[in-house]
Structure formats: structure tokens, C-alpha cells
Structure 1
Amino acid sequence: MGWRDRGVEVKTPEQVAGMRRAGLVVGRTLEVLADLARPGLTTGDLDEAAERHIRQLGATPSFLGYQGFTGSICVSVNEEVVHGVPGDRRLVEGDLVSIDCGAIVDGWHGDAAITVALGEVPDEVAALARVTEEAMWRGIAAARPDGRVTDISHAVETHVRAAGSYGIVEDYTGHGIGSAMHQPPDVPNYGRPGKGPRLVPGLALAVEPMLVLGDPTNDVLDDDWTVVTRDRSWAAHSEHTFTLTPDGGTWVLTALDGGRAQLEALGVPYGGD
């Protein structure tokens, strides 16, 4: 294992393969939860299903017990941006639900998030979720060998600004990931390109834009975890873990297809196996 740029962890191909195993657990769990989420369930019901599925696949939930967190996933609804603690909140028709999931396999982490709408939602809410996911993919697509971390940040922001008047949450960022869930470097969702650590094969990053329909200023609730918009405007969150491969391709470790479809549509070489 190599270390560059102030503690940045660079994985060997064998270690990246371990991260892919963790990433597949995350991707499959999120697929199950997206199908399961419906009005009448509680956020705690989704959490129980997530833990059961993660453990059935031979993995450990990354979030459970992390700095005292009590859930295996984060479930953030409507005005909740991120880090929603699963519990007795009951989902209703028209909710916008963000689900963040992490899993560990043989000491390696995967981390991803999706936002799903329950039934019919206003056009502006559906667009918010769509633009958030698109911005994540544009960020991943901007990563090139020997580029810099903020190339990703700039691509995310550029797509968001072109899509409408969305607020970009600046207080929470993407991050490095590997033998720990959160590692250097931070991956902001805004900024000028060409700054930060160099992008090299084996550096794994979680890219995760968080967008809101109103003011991105936010607060943390009394549970010390759940982040909500101060003006209670609705939020969306999308995340994938990816790496660059030695052949110059990109491999999205938490996407079930490795990101092939989205990357090829964006003209990016696919680096998975």
C-alpha cells in the first residue's frame, strides 16, 4: 500500500478488488432498498432490511456504531440532507427519500447513496433528484490520471449551475475511502479545477453531491446527526465510490455494472473487469 499527498491511501489492484466486493454489497443493498421503500414503512424498517441484507452477503455495515451512530444506513427524508438516523418516522406518498449505505468486506469499505421518490412528486422535486445524480456522474467522469481532485468538484458545480438555481451544500463533501470509510482527501462539490491531490490509479474516492431546492444553509438536529435545511427546502443526495485503473479507465466500485453504461455514455473509458 502506498501513501501520497499527506496521507492519501493508494491501493494495489488486489486491494481495489477487495473494495469492489464491498462495493457490490452496497450496490445490491441499495437496489433492494429502492424496491422496498414505500409509503407505510418506517425508516427503521428500511434499516432492519439493510442490515439483514448486508450480513447475508457476508459483510458488515460500515455505519453501525460509527462514532455512536445507531443505524446500518442513513435515511434522510425531504428536508433532511444527510445522516438521517433510522427510527419511527413513517414514510408517506410523495416523500423524497435519500438512502446512504456503507459495507465492509475483509477490511475494505464501499459507500454509496441514492435518492428515491415515493410515488408522484412535483416536477421540481423529480428534477432535483435527477440533477443530483447527473452531477455525481459528471464529477466521476471528470477524473483523469494525473488530474486533480477539484477537477471533480468543478465538474459537479458546472453541471448543477447549468441545470438551474439549486443550492449546493458546502458543509459536507465527498471523501477518500479504502481501509477506512472516511479518509483524505475531501472532495468538495464546488470549486476551481486543478487543485488538491493528484488523481492516480488506486486512489478511491466517494463523490457525493447534496443539492437543495432552496438555501443550502443547514442545521444539525438534537440527535447530533440529522442534517436539515434551515429553510426546510427539500434535498437530494447521490453517491458512488470509484477509482482510476492502471489502463487509464474509470471503475465505479459501488455500481452493479461498474459504471460502464453511464461512463460510456459520457465518453469515459471503462476500467472495470
Structure 2
Amino acid sequence: MTTRQQRTPWPLGLPALVGAVLLVVPLVGLLVRAPWDGLTRILGTEEVLDALWLSLFSATLAMLISLVLGVPLAWVLARSTMPGLRLLRALVTLPLVLPPVVGGVALLLVLGRNGLVGQYLDSWFGITLPFTTAAVVIAETFVAMPFLVIAVEGAFRSADQGYDEAAATLGANRLTVFRRVTLPLIRPALVAGAVLCWARALGEFGATITFAGNLQGVTRTMPLEVYLAMETDPDAAVALSLVLLAVSVAVLFALRGRWVGGGGAA
């Protein structure tokens, strides 16, 4: 059954057109002003390659950590009956609306050399986290894991628990039920959440520069390289922005039909 198309009234169409232009034209400008002739040379420089490699490595590691920690957290939020879940959910989702630089300051106050936890890591184990690659991963995990938690929690809530109960009556223990029954049921949401988490980690800037700094080959990710290149080499900034744009388009394509898209019913 198809939906009858309606003419768009101008009080809605005009603002919609202006909004679309506002969102699309800057991206078109990026493509128009891109240094296509020297793109290979720019992306082949040592600084850009270091930033690309570090971004891919740290974003992937942040996504894996988010999967290990975020999936159990999402299960607790969705199915546990422990008290204080509303407060816990609010705190877990807070990084979604918290300015990233504030998150970086918070991480620095907790995990810095004189932080609440960092002082003990330094004095007891000789571990200093700020301005290291580990700090990049921690900052990206902090801002990106809520995306995965929200996606997976919703899937846990909507999944039919009858399958879990049936598997349990057949003798499967809780871990086996979770691994063999629950996770396959929520796989689409799990994949979507993981992709969103990875993309958010890849584009993180504020928390990274505040907590990890901007050291080439150590903490300088692609967004930081773009920021630095704008002051010294605008062509390099545009070229690296194109890489991030391509990644964003790939993410939207991967998530079509789940978080974005529209289309009519088949």
C-alpha cells in the first residue's frame, strides 16, 4: 500500500528549502574548493598519515572497549530491577549533551596526575594517562559509548524475552542464553550502535585536545590535524576534511534503514 503524495504548502516548503541549503551548501563548498590535483600528495605526508593511523586505531579501540563495557551496561539499564536506574541512565547519557571540552576537563580532574584517581595511578603504579595515546582512547570512549548504549538498550527492551526463557527451560545457563539467544536477536541494533560509536570516536575533538593534548604521532588525531592545518596549510585541512566526510557518508550508508533514511514502504 502506497502513501498518497501531497503538495508541500509554502509555509513548510520555504523553511525546509532554507534548512536544506544551510546544511548542504557548506558540504558542496568543501567539494568545490578541495585540492583534487594535490590530494594524493597531501594525504601522503607524514603528519597526515600519522593522524589517519592514530584516528583509525584509537576509534577502533574505543569502539571495542565500548562493546565490552557498554553492552552489559545496556542490559542492566534495560532489564535490571536494581534501584537508581533512572539516575544511572541520565548519567550514562549525559556525555551526549555535555560539551566535549567539559568532558575533557572532567577526565583530567579524575585521571590527571593530581586527579582523584590519577594521583594513585601515578604514585602506586607509575602510570600517567594525560597526553598519551591511552588518553585519546579514554576520551573517545567517554564521548562515544553512550551512542552504543542507547542503541543496544532499546534493542534489549524490544526483544522478546520468551526466547530467553525457552532456552533457560531447556537447561542453558544465563551466559549461554545471553551469548546464543539474546545477542543474535539484537544484532542489527548492536551493529548500528557500534558503527555510530566508531564514527563518533573518529570525529572527537574537544575532549581529546583537553585531556590528551595535540602531539604528532601520539595524540594528534584527524580532527586535531584539521584544526592545526587550518592555520598553516588550508589545502591539507580541506583534504583531511574530505576523508572525514567520506567516512561520514559511509556510516550513513551502513546505517540506512536503521537510524536514517526514509523511503516508502515496499
Q: TM-score range by the shorter chain?
A: under 0.3
Q: Which structure would you say has the larger RCO, counting Cα contacts within 8 Å and 6 or more residues apart?
A: 2
Larger Rg: 2
Q: What TM-score do the two structures reach when normalised by structure 2?
A: 0.27
TM-score (norm 1): 0.26
| Larger relative helix fraction | 2
Query: More strand by proportion, 1 or 2?
Result: 1
